[in-house]
Amino acid sequence: MPSTPDISHVAGLLSDPSRSAMLISLLDGRPQTATELAQRAKITPQTASLHLSKLVSGHLISKEVQGKYHYFRLTDPNVAHAIESLIAISPPSKIYSLREADEDNALRKARTCYDHLAGRLGINLAESIVRKGYIDISNENYRVTDDGKEFFSDFGIDFVKLKRRRRKFIHPCLDWSERTPHIGGALGAALLDRITELGWIDKKASQRAVRVTELGKEGFRNHFELSVD
DNA sequence: ATCAGAGGTATAGGGCCTCT
DNA sequence: AGAGGCCCTATACCTCTGAT
């Protein structure tokens, strides 16, 4: 008889507010030190260090030592996907200041979800791609059409190389702020890489929120018929 | 090459809180 | 009351950098 997966261990690791705050901070895919994560979770570095060691032993995050710095990151996109899904079914956190409200608005507008684009921009981009017939939705799954293959190749994405990767090629990733899926998987990551490379978005070093540049506004309009304010 | 200082992380011990 | 978990402070350890 197949054994039942034990989700209680992972759920236990996620159940602490400090640990979940650090995991959410790691959602942008950027490696961060224990001290940075401690600031995010509003705890001391020593406490953060303890929590991080538990998350490492639970295989939710991995650690890379570079000199005196210890960089932590999510182990793989599946962890990010799981956290985003939990955020989608969680009640919104209370906002106490104008700064928090601004950050929340910026995140809802456009942000990275581990290694792909999310927020209203991510949703609108996915909807535009579907509308143009580059991606087909069947049984709530994404499939790239022949037109899509041609379009993504023209857009500068190496489709063949992407297909060879062991990672899931494309999947709908539920957006916690919009409750609508955006494009996840290897193609979602490649899209974000290409958009960043083209200078369409500006990723701030310490934030998940991204800003669309003037070049990006033009690019999204010309390639995806998207008007970004 | 060696040493001291600074920055960052890990660990130990204790207080506090919650649950049973 | 006891157990368990979280967070804090104090301290030790590691690594890097700059001065000598």
Q: Could you report the average pLDDT of every consecutive run of 10 residues in chain A (229 residues)?
A: 60 76 81 78 77 79 73 82 78 66 81 86 92 87 90 88 78 78 88 92 74 93 88
pLDDT recorded at residue A132: 92
CA of A87: how far to CAs of A80, A91, A92, A168, A177, in Å? 11, 8, 8, 22, 9
Distance of CA A214 to the CA centre of its chain: 23
**Sequence-ordered list of residues with C-beta below 8 angstroms from that of A81, at least 6 positions apart, any chain:** A114, A173, A184
Q: Is the CB of A21 under 7 A from strand C?
A: no
Element (H, E) at A62: strand A61-66
At residue A32, the pLDDT reads 80
Does an H or E element contain A70, and which? Answer: strand A69-74
Contact A183, A95 (CB under 8 A): no
- Radius of gyration for chain A, computed over Cα atoms and rounded to the nearest angstrom: 18
The residue whose CA lies nearest the C1' of nucleotide B10 is A49
Residue A21: which residues within 8 A CB-CB, separation 6 or more? A40, A41, A42
What pLDDT is attached to residue A1? 42
A50 touches strand C (CB under 7 A): yes
From residues 115-154 of A, which are strand C contacts by CB within 7 A? none
Q: Diameter of chain A by CA atoms?
A: 58
Q: What is the pLDDT of residue A175?
A: 77
C1’ C3 / CA A115, Å: 42
Q: Give me the pLDDT at residue A103, please.
A: 75
On strand B, nucleotides with any atom < 7 Å from a protein CB are: 6-12
Pairing of strands A111-113, A171-174: unpaired
CA of A50: nucleotide with nearest C1': B10
* Residue-level pLDDT at A3: 56
Q: Where do runs of H (alpha helix) occur along chain A?
A: 8-14, 17-25, 34-41, 45-57, 77-88, 98-109, 119-131, 146-154, 159-164, 185-197, 214-224
Query: How far apart, in whole angstroms, are the C-alpha atoms of residue A218 and residue A228?
Result: 9
Nearest partner of A111 among A24, A223, A14, judged by Cα: A24
Sequence-ordered list of residues with C-beta below 8 angstroms from that of A210, at least 6 positions apart, any chain: A110, A111, A112, A117, A121, A201, A202, A203, A204
Closest nucleotide to A63: CA versus each C1': B9
- For C10, which residue's CA is nearest its C1'? A46
Amino acid identity at A39: Q
